[in-house]
Chains A and B, each alone.
Chain A
Amino acid sequence: MSWSGGPHGAPEPGAVGLAARVRAGEVRAADVAEETLERVGRRDGELHCFNVVTADAMRSAAAAVDRLVASGADPGPLAGVPVAVKDNLCTRGVPTTCSSKMLEHWVPPYDATVVTRLVAAGALVVGKTNLDEFAMGSSTENSAFGPTRNPWDTSRVPGGSSGGSAAAVAADLAPLALGSDTGGSIRQPAALCGVVGIKPTYGLVSRYGLVAFASSLDQVGPFAATVADAALVLEVIAGHDEMDSTSLDRPVEGLLDATGSGAGGLRVGVVADFLADASADCASAVRAAAEVLAGAGAAVEEVALPELLHGLSAYYLIAPAEASSNLARYDGVRYGLRVDGDDVEQMNARTRAAGFGPEVRRRIMLGTYVLSAGYYDAYYAQAQRVRTLVARTFARAYERFDVLLAPTTPSVAFPLGAKTADPLEMYLADLFTIPSNLAGHPAMSVPFALDPQGLPVGVQVLAPALGEVAMLRAAGVLEAGAAPGARGPVASRSEAGR
Chain B
Amino acid sequence: MSTGPAPAGAGRASADFEVVVGLEVHCELSTATKLFCGCPNRFGSEPNTQVCPVCLGLPGALPVLNRRAVELAVRVGRALHCEIRPSTFHRKNYFYPDMPKDFQISQYDEPIDVDGYLELPSGRRIGIERAHIEEDTGKTTHLGGGGRIHGADRSLVDYNRAGVPLVEIVSRPDMRSADEARAYVAELRAILVASGASDGRMEEGSLRVDANVSVRRTGSDAFGTRCEVKNLNSLRSLGRAIEHEQARQVALLEAGERVVQETRHWNEDEGRTSSMRSKEEANDYRYFPEPDLVPLAPDGAFVAAATAGLGLMPAERRARLATTVHGPDAAVAASTLDQITTVVDLGLDDLVVEVVERGADARLALARAANEAAQSPEDARRLDPGAFCRLLELEAGGSLSSTQAKSVLAEMLAAGGEPDAIARRLGYEALGSEALESAIDAVVAAHPDAWARYAAGEDKVAQLLTGQVMKATKGRANGKAVAAALAARRG
Point out residues on A near B: beta carbons under 8 Å.
Answer: 88-90, 96, 98, 103, 106, 108-110, 112, 207-212, 214-216, 242-246, 321-322, 324-325, 328-329, 331, 333-335, 343-345, 348, 368, 371-373, 376, 380
B286 touches A90 (CB 8 A): no
Complex Cα spacing A209 to B52, Å: 13
- When distances are taken between beta carbons in the complex, the residues of chain B under 8 Å from A245 are 62-65, 292-294
Of A246, A371, A376, the residue contacting B292 (CB under 8 A) is A246
Is residue B58 contacting chain A, with contact meaning CB distance below 8 A? yes
Is residue B91 contacting chain A, with contact meaning CB distance below 8 A? yes
Cβ distance A241 to chain B, nearest Cβ, rounded Å: 9
A108 touches B59 (CB 8 A): yes
Of A216, A246, A344, the residue contacting B97 (CB under 8 A) is A344
Of B58, B103, B150, the residue contacting A325 (CB under 8 A) is B103
Say yes or no: A331-B91 contact (C-beta < 8 A), given A109-B58, A325-B288.
Answer: no
- When distances are taken between beta carbons in the complex, the residues of chain A under 8 Å from B288 are 321-322, 325, 371, 376, 380
- When distances are taken between beta carbons in the complex, the residues of chain A under 8 Å from B294 are 245-246
- When distances are taken between beta carbons in the complex, the residues of chain B under 8 Å from A380 are 288
B62 touches A368 (CB 8 A): no
B91 touches A325 (CB 8 A): yes
Chain B residues numbered 262-302 whose CB sits less than 8 Å from any CB in chain A: 284, 286-288, 291-294
A212 touches B284 (CB 8 A): no
A96 touches B62 (CB 8 A): no
Most-contacted residue by chain B among A321, A344, A376 (CB, 10 A): A344
B62 touches A322 (CB 8 A): no
A90 touches B60 (CB 8 A): yes
- When distances are taken between beta carbons in the complex, the residues of chain A under 8 Å from B150 are 343
A325 touches B93 (CB 8 A): yes
Of B64, B102, B155, the residue contacting A331 (CB under 8 A) is B102
A243 touches B155 (CB 8 A): no
- Given contacts A324-B286, A325-B288, A372-B286, list 15 more A-B pairs with CB under 8 A: A96-B60, A110-B53, A207-B62, A211-B60, A212-B60, A215-B292, A245-B292, A322-B291, A325-B91, A325-B286, A328-B102, A329-B101, A331-B97, A333-B157, A373-B286
Is residue B32 contacting chain A, with contact meaning CB distance below 8 A? no
- When distances are taken between beta carbons in the complex, the residues of chain A under 8 Å from B60 are 88-90, 96, 108, 110, 112, 208-212
Q: Determine the residue in chain A with the shortest Cβ distance to B65.
A: A245
Is residue B461 contacting chain A, with contact meaning CB distance below 8 A? no
Is residue B95 contacting chain A, with contact meaning CB distance below 8 A? yes
- When distances are taken between beta carbons in the complex, the residues of chain B under 8 Å from A243 are 62, 64
The interface residues of chain A, by DSSP majority, are classed as loop
Cβ distance A115 to chain B, nearest Cβ, rounded Å: 10
- When distances are taken between beta carbons in the complex, the residues of chain B under 8 Å from A106 are 59
Is residue B484 contacting chain A, with contact meaning CB distance below 8 A? no
B61 touches A208 (CB 8 A): yes
B62 touches A244 (CB 8 A): yes
- When distances are taken between beta carbons in the complex, the residues of chain B under 8 Å from A96 are 59-60
Of A88, A109, A343, the residue contacting B53 (CB under 8 A) is A109
- When distances are taken between beta carbons in the complex, the residues of chain A under 8 Å from B57 are 329, 334
B97 touches A333 (CB 8 A): yes
Is residue B56 contacting chain A, with contact meaning CB distance below 8 A? yes
Is residue B475 contacting chain A, with contact meaning CB distance below 8 A? no
B95 touches A328 (CB 8 A): yes
Point out residues on B near A: beta carbons under 8 Å.
Answer: 53, 56-65, 91, 93, 95, 97, 100-103, 149-150, 155, 157, 284, 286-288, 291-294
Q: Determine the residue in chain B with the shortest Cβ distance to A102.
A: B59
Complex Cα spacing A335 to B59, Å: 10
Cβ distance B166 to chain A, nearest Cβ, rounded Å: 19
7 A-B pairs (CB sep. < 8 Å): A88-B60, A245-B293, A246-B291, A246-B294, A322-B291, A328-B102, A328-B103
Complex Cα spacing A324 to B101, Å: 11
Sort A-B residue pairs by CB-CB distance and give the 10 closest, nearest first. A328-B102, A371-B286, A216-B291, A215-B291, A211-B59, A209-B60, A90-B60, A333-B97, A211-B60, A373-B284
- When distances are taken between beta carbons in the complex, the residues of chain B under 8 Å from A373 are 284, 286
Say yes or no: A98-B293 contact (C-beta < 8 A), given A325-B93, A329-B102, A344-B155.
Answer: no
A335 touches B58 (CB 8 A): yes
Complex Cα spacing A380 to B93, Å: 15
Complex Cα spacing A207 to B291, Å: 12
Complex Cα spacing A321 to B103, Å: 13
Cβ distance A102 to chain B, nearest Cβ, rounded Å: 9
- When distances are taken between beta carbons in the complex, the residues of chain A under 8 Å from B291 are 214-216, 246, 322
Say yes or no: A108-B58 contact (C-beta < 8 A), given A245-B64, A372-B286.
Answer: yes
- When distances are taken between beta carbons in the complex, the residues of chain A under 8 Å from B293 are 245-246
Complex Cα spacing A112 to B53, Å: 11
Q: Determine the residue in chain A with the shortest Cβ distance to B63.
A: A245
- When distances are taken between beta carbons in the complex, the residues of chain A under 8 Å from B59 are 90, 96, 98, 103, 106, 108, 211-212, 329
Complex Cα spacing A488 to B152, Å: 59
Q: Determine the residue in chain B with the shortest Cβ distance to A89.
A: B60
- When distances are taken between beta carbons in the complex, the residues of chain B under 8 Å from A345 are 95
Cβ distance B70 to chain A, nearest Cβ, rounded Å: 13
- When distances are taken between beta carbons in the complex, the residues of chain B under 8 Å from A328 are 93, 95, 101-103
Q: Determine the residue in chain A with the shortest Cβ distance to B89.
A: A245
Complex Cα spacing A242 to B291, Å: 16
Q: Determine the residue in chain A with the shortest Cβ distance to B64.
A: A245
Cβ distance A495 to chain B, nearest Cβ, rounded Å: 35
Cβ distance B240 to chain A, nearest Cβ, rounded Å: 31
Cβ distance B135 to chain A, nearest Cβ, rounded Å: 14
Cβ distance B97 to chain A, nearest Cβ, rounded Å: 5
Cβ distance A366 to chain B, nearest Cβ, rounded Å: 13
- When distances are taken between beta carbons in the complex, the residues of chain A under 8 Å from B292 are 212, 215, 245-246
A368 touches B149 (CB 8 A): no
Say yes or no: A334-B286 contact (C-beta < 8 A), given A245-B293, A246-B294, A329-B59.
Answer: no
Q: Determine the residue in chain A with the shortest Cβ distance to B56.
A: A334
Cβ distance A394 to chain B, nearest Cβ, rounded Å: 20
Complex Cα spacing A334 to B61, Å: 15
Cβ distance B90 to chain A, nearest Cβ, rounded Å: 10
Complex Cα spacing A112 to B93, Å: 25
Cβ distance A182 to chain B, nearest Cβ, rounded Å: 12
Q: Determine the residue in chain B with the shortest Cβ distance to A321.
A: B288
A242 touches B93 (CB 8 A): no
Cβ distance B270 to chain A, nearest Cβ, rounded Å: 25
Q: Determine the residue in chain A with the shortest Cβ distance to B159.
A: A334
Cβ distance B406 to chain A, nearest Cβ, rounded Å: 59
Q: Determine the residue in chain B with the shortest Cβ distance to A380.
A: B288
Complex Cα spacing A149 to B157, Å: 43
- When distances are taken between beta carbons in the complex, the residues of chain B under 8 Å from A321 are 288
Complex Cα spacing A215 to B62, Å: 10
- When distances are taken between beta carbons in the complex, the residues of chain A under 8 Å from B65 are 245
Complex Cα spacing A322 to B287, Å: 11
- When distances are taken between beta carbons in the complex, the residues of chain B under 8 Å from A343 are 149-150
Complex Cα spacing A109 to B63, Å: 17
Say yes or no: A334-B93 contact (C-beta < 8 A), given A108-B58, A325-B288.
Answer: no
